[in-house]
Amino acid sequence: GGGRLLDSIRKWYYNAAGFNKLGLMRDDTLHEDDDVKEALKRLPEHLYNERVFRIKRALDLSLKHQILPKDQWVKYEEVGHGMFPSYLEPYLKEVIRERQEREAWNKK
Query: How many other C-beta atoms are found inside a 10 Å radius of the C-beta of residue 101?
Result: 10
Residue 17's pLDDT is 83
Classify 1-107 by CATH class. mainly alpha
Instruction: Give the helix/strand (H/E) hosting 17.
Output: helix 2-17
Q: Are 25 and 58 in contact (CB under 8 A)?
A: no
CA–CA distance, 34 with 36 (Å, rounded to integer): 6
pLDDT per position as a tens digit, 41-100:
999 999 999 999 999 999 999 999 999 999 998 887 776 655 556 899 999 999 999 999
Q: Which run of H or E residues covers position 59? A: helix 45-63
Q: 16 falls in which pLDDT band (50, 70, 90)?
A: confident
Question: Which of the two residues, 96 and 13, has the higher pLDDT score?
Answer: 96
